[in-house]
Amino acid sequence: MLDTAAANASKTKSKNRFDESVKKFCLYLFLIGGRMLYETLYANLKNVIPSITTLHRSITNSNIQEGELRFADLRRFLDSRGLPSVVWISEDATKITGKIGYSSHNNLVVGFVIPQHNGLPRENYFEATSARRIQQIFVEGERAQYGYAIMAQCPIDKTPSFCLNIFGTNNKFTHNDVIQRWEQMKVSARRYNIELLGFSSDGDTRLLKAMRLTTKLSNQVTEKWKWFHMPLDTGNICTQDTVHIGTKLKTRLINQKVTLALGNFIASSDHLKTLIETVSKDKHLLTLGDLNSQDKMNFRSVEKIIAPKVSELLKKSVPNSEGTVAYLKILRSVLDAFLRKDLSPVRRLQLIWYAVFFLRIWRSWVRNSESYTVTENFITLNAYLCIEMNAHALIKIIRKFREEKLDTDFATWLFSSQPCEQIFRATRSLTSTYSTIVNFSLMEMLNRINKIETIVSIMSDLRDTFVFPREGSSRMGTAHNSIGIVFPCDEEIESVCMTALQEAINDCKLLGIYNDRDNDDTQNLWEQIMIFDGSIDSQPYKLQDPDALDYHCVDLNLSEEFSYEPATNDVLRQFVDQQDDSETSEDQEQDDDHSDSLINFQDLNFADVPVEEPIHERSPYVKIKCQNGQIKTIRKKTLCWFLDDNVKRYLMWQLIISSNLIHSITF
């Protein structure tokens, strides 16, 4: 920016030239800080930053419709950046307000839960064709409380993600809806010659169940490897977000109601507290805030806890902390296997399968113990299944890259749901300071997708040039991928996993989990490392374990400040019935041409908008009928605004009319 100012110092305002990276960074400031902030900066930094007019040329506006799969736009996105036609899909939801809006571009009422077909919202379901139809939508529709995002990420490091689909939901879908949606997406992707490499989520039990069904992860062993429980010939690859797994394991560790018994030792956060109290902070960098059980999604605290120096200090300074050290090693192995960029595929395999084998042996020991239970003295089932899913998926990913020679990076840190979290963070950055939820409606979120995509793209393109504090780089991989990628053959994969198994057995022996006599009994050995009970029930969806809460569930506890109180369907129906009862047969005969499409309002002083063109179904205007028989033309947006506001508006309006205090109300 200094070079830009020096180069433009002797030029007139109209001849100023700006580097592309400077223009992108200034566009980021404009989108994040707003027009007033940027005008202030521009007025005080002459010749340094471009004008708002210049920035507007870089903003592209496209009409985004709720529930529409944007594969055509994705195709153009990949081509414009020269990226391969391979993407990884991730899904997640975040809390939104329940406010209803009207989209004049698509003539749709936006904000209600659209019935699904093949796991996707039906097209043009809530079309605002008339005033009567709009009223019917408000009476019958269910307000969406979550914005559900489906992201596409090309497996090329430092490339931005793309919002493939976004729609409102009531969070009541099933695993069958998820499976149908994935199949429909595969069909749509093939039309544009795009390959869906795999799917990710954040531990949601419905998506996890869908993954287990599609990948056929069960307790049946394969012919090739006894320890591998997923068919190698299937093309379905699914993973769970590594960041969420890390936070779940940390939450389990610091839960004071849970006793994590590992043989002769206990894994407990009390050992970490002792370390904090007895060893100076400059040695371990930990604080008591890192052990706060209320902050479930603090990934920075997870990184600090699993640091190798913390485990070393625990061994030296805290007696009987071997169980905690072993637990932290599992946690570190799970995270490093996917998030470290400087590891080879062989090393990744060794780390993740060490964790899997250790957990299998530990779980078997707990199940056979008379004093402990898997529910009370082991990690949550959700976290355990996620780790198993990732370990199996990593082998399938390696074999796919090896056999098909994909023209992409082996970027395991991108096989996650972090693109969803990234776009949610960018969305929150458009709200007020310190806001922890998306403080606007689905309609407003759709209108901001272009800005959000621009923000995400700029952060991705300029992360090596500028610093973006809200963009946690560790969540999308750490260190640098400076080594050549060599994918192991199946024999090497087996050898590495057996090495990991032996390491897990040795560590379990030291803890008292695994007995020496089992070494000579091959059958007992394989029984100890057998996978979980792979039977998948068909019971209806239940709320997941509190320790397995994902980000949008945390938002629920923080959203009371921004709660929106929409009118209930009962109040709306009562209001509609009152209007219907007030319609006289004389009025119906007088306005026979409009009786099927008009709402009979009481004497509300809506402004009559003069419209020269005829009113048709896709027009942004609609006609309403007042009680005195007069027909007025109003905007559909105005009608939605009136029908959408909270119950107080209706009650106050009825009170004023009935009291005869005010005879004319202007809305």
pLDDT for 233 equals 76
Amino acid at 1: M
pLDDT for 619 equals 87
How many angstroms separate the CA atoms of 141 and 115, rounded?
10
- Which of left, alpha, beta for 124 (phi over 0: left; psi -120 to 50: alpha)? left
386: helix, strand or coil = helix
Q: What percent of the chain has pLDDT over 90?
A: 43
Per the model's pLDDT, the better-predicted residue between 589 and 202 turns out to be: 202
| 291 CB-near residues (< 8 Å, 6+ apart) | 254, 269, 272, 273, 301
* Adjacent-strand bridge partners of 47: none
Q: Which two tokens stand for residue 281?
A: 């902070």
> Do 181 and 118 meet the contact criterion of CB atoms below 8 Å apart?
yes
Nearest to 134 by CA among 621, 471, 568, 523: 621
Tell me the Cα Rg of the chain. 29
> Do 43 and 36 meet the contact criterion of CB atoms below 8 Å apart?
no
Stretch 642-665: mean pLDDT: 51
> Do 50 and 473 meet the contact criterion of CB atoms below 8 Å apart?
no
- Which of left, alpha, beta for 519 (phi over 0: left; psi -120 to 50: alpha)? alpha
pLDDT for 200 equals 96
pLDDT tens digits along 443-463: 888 888 888 888 878 888 887
Q: Which two tokens stand for residue 21?
A: 């990276």
| 537 CB-near residues (< 8 Å, 6+ apart) | none
Nearest to 177 by CA among 263, 116, 90, 135: 116
Stretch 146-168: mean pLDDT: 91
Helices (H), 405-489: 418-428, 442-461
How many angstroms separate the CA atoms of 282 and 481, rounded?
29
Residue 583 has pLDDT above 60, yes or no: no
The phi, psi pair for 112, rounded to 5°, reads -95, 160
| 491 CB-near residues (< 8 Å, 6+ apart) | none
- Which of left, alpha, beta for 340 (phi over 0: left; psi -120 to 50: alpha)? beta
The phi, psi pair for 292, rounded to 5°, reads -75, 120
HSE-CB at 314 with a 13 A cutoff on CA atoms is 25
pLDDT for 593 equals 45
pLDDT for 18 equals 83
Stretch 117-129: mean pLDDT: 90
Task: Specify the pairing of strand 101-103 against strand 108-110.
Answer: antiparallel
Rounded to two decimals, what is the model's pTM?
Answer: 0.82
Nearest to 305 by CA among 384, 243, 250: 250
pLDDT tens digits along 233-287: 767 899 999 999 999 999 999 998 999 999 999 999 999 999 999 999 989 999 9
Per the model's pLDDT, the better-predicted residue between 549 and 208 turns out to be: 208
Residue 6 has pLDDT above 60, yes or no: yes
Question: Please, is 512 exposed, middle or buried when counting C-beta atoms within 10 Å of its C-beta (0-12, 13-18, 19+)?
Answer: middle
Give per-residue burial for 456-478: e unless 16+ CB within 10 Å, then b.
bbbbbbbeeeeebeebbeebbbe
pLDDT tens digits along 30-55: 988 888 999 999 888 878 888 888 88
Mean pLDDT of all residues belonging to the chain? 80
How many angstroms separate the CA atoms of 131 and 625, rounded?
10
Q: Is the dihedral of CA 94, 97, 98, 99 positive or negative?
A: negative
HSE-CB at 436 with a 13 A cutoff on CA atoms is 13
Per-position DSSP letters for 260-320, written without gaps between them: EEETTEEE-HHHHHHHHHHS-HHHH---GGGG-TT-TT-HHHHHHHT-HHHHHHHHHHSTT
Confidence at 421, pLDDT banded by 50, 70, 90: confident
Residue 544 has pLDDT above 80, yes or no: no
Range in 2-6, 183-187, 234-238, 559-563 with the lowest mean pLDDT = 559-563
Distance separating the N- and C-terminal Cα atoms of the chain: 50
Taking the C-alpha atoms of 333, 337, 338 and 340 in order, what is their torsion angle to the nearest 10 degrees? 90
Nearest to 394 by CA among 342, 361, 360, 347: 347
Give per-residue burial for 23-50: e unless 16+ CB within 10 Å, then b.
bbbbbbbbbbeeeeebeeebeeeebbbb
617: helix, strand or coil = coil
Confidence at 7, pLDDT banded by 50, 70, 90: confident
Amino acid at 503: E
* Adjacent-strand bridge partners of 127: 108
> Do 208 and 525 meet the contact criterion of CB atoms below 8 Å apart?
no
Q: What percent of the chain has pLDDT over 70?
A: 77
Residue 667 has pLDDT above 60, yes or no: no
Range in 19-23, 272-276, 595-599 with the lowest mean pLDDT = 595-599
pLDDT tens digits along 56-88: 887 776 778 888 999 999 999 999 889 999 999
The phi, psi pair for 659, rounded to 5°, reads -85, -10
Residue 647 has pLDDT above 50, yes or no: no
Confidence at 556, pLDDT banded by 50, 70, 90: very low
Question: Please, is 78 exposed, middle or buried when counting C-beta atoms within 10 Å of its C-beta (0-12, 13-18, 19+)?
Answer: buried
pLDDT for 584 equals 40
pLDDT tens digits along 493-518: 999 999 999 999 999 999 999 765 54
Q: Which two tokens stand for residue 664?
A: 């004319």
Range in 284-298, 349-363, 367-381, 418-432 with the lowest mean pLDDT = 418-432
Stretch 646-655: mean pLDDT: 48
pLDDT for 592 equals 42
> Do 431 and 134 meet the contact criterion of CB atoms below 8 Å apart?
no
Nearest to 358 by CA among 330, 394, 338: 330
CA 194 to each of CA 167, 187, 334, 403: distance values in angstroms, whole numbers, following the listed order: 22, 10, 30, 19
Residue 223 has pLDDT above 90, yes or no: no
Confidence at 663, pLDDT banded by 50, 70, 90: very low
